[in-house]
Amino acid sequence: MRQIVPGPCPDCGKEIEYIYDTENIPYFSDILLLSGVCPDCGFRITDTMVLNDHEPCRWELKVETPEDLDARVIRSMQGEIDIPEFGVNIHPGPACSGFVSNIEGVLMRAEDAIRRALPSCEGEEIATANELLEKIGQARVSELPFTVIISDPSGNSGIVSPKAVKTKLDVEPQPDGCTIHPLA
């Protein structure tokens, strides 16, 4: 079900359209996709929310075959993605947006982030960034196995694959409202 709801832009106050769209992802859940863009100030919001299960969770998938690259990935605004073999950590920040993609799309996002950072790199950082781009290129054509881990305290992220393993994410609420994720 798609619904368009007018509302104020949180940055400039101009009325914009927020789009709410539900989608059923087979073997996973119903999700809500939220998006909005302000043409005046450029404010953007994109998020995904799982409509059924909201327990803090951790998803892990060992990517070894071309089929694994097609596994669907749902990342909410709170989801953190790790690819330990590459030292990649996509940590949610204040401008973080949720997305629905696949494993290859996650690799492409990592490539884009590295390419955007390259101009500000110096010396050995350049060699390290280029080495990482080469590894990601090999992974995108299934020449290099790797692991994708998504940790989400909101429970709104996931990986849709029969090989994906979901476990409970231990989170400890703190008195000041912060959340600490103990290292396993």
Question: Do 76 and 44 have their domain in common?
Answer: no
Question: DSSP label at 127?
Answer: H
Question: Do 146 and 164 have their domain in common?
Answer: yes
Question: Do 37 and 59 have their domain in common?
Answer: no
Question: Do 144 and 94 have their domain in common?
Answer: yes
78-128 per-position pLDDT tens digit: 899 999 999 999 888 776 777 889 999 999 999 998 999 999 989 899 999
Question: Do 25 and 81 have their domain in common?
Answer: no
Q: Is 0.75 surpassed by the pTM of this model?
A: no
Beta strands in 9-136 (DSSP E): 15-25, 29-37, 44-50, 57-63, 72-75, 80-83, 88-90, 99-102
Q: In the structure encoding, which two tokens stand for residue 86, read together?
A: 């590459």
Question: Do 25 and 71 have their domain in common?
Answer: no
Quote the distance between the C-alpha of residue 142 and its chain's center.
21
- Residue with the bigger pLDDT between 150 and 113: it is 150
Question: Do 46 and 61 have their domain in common?
Answer: no
Question: Do 61 and 35 have their domain in common?
Answer: no
CB 45 within 8 A of CB 32: no
Give the residue from 112, 45, 106 showing the smallest Cα distance to 81: 106
Task: Give the model's confidence band at 147: pLDDT under 50 very low, under 70 low, under 90 confident, else very high.
Answer: very high
Quote the distance between the C-alpha of residue 158 and its chain's center.
9
Domain count within the chain: 2
Give the residue from 76, 59, 88 showing the smallest Cα distance to 162: 59
Question: Do 79 and 41 have their domain in common?
Answer: no
Alpha helices in 77-153 (DSSP H): 103-117, 124-140
Indicate the length of the chain as a whole number: 184
CB 175 within 8 A of CB 45: no
pLDDT at 99: 85
Question: Do 160 and 91 have their domain in common?
Answer: yes
Question: Do 146 and 66 have their domain in common?
Answer: yes
Q: What is the residue range of 43's domain?
A: 1-52
28-73 per-position pLDDT tens digit: 668 888 999 999 999 988 887 777 657 899 999 999 999 999 999 9
pLDDT at 170: 85
Q: In the structure encoding, which two tokens stand for residue 183, read together?
A: 């290292």
Question: Do 72 and 126 have their domain in common?
Answer: yes
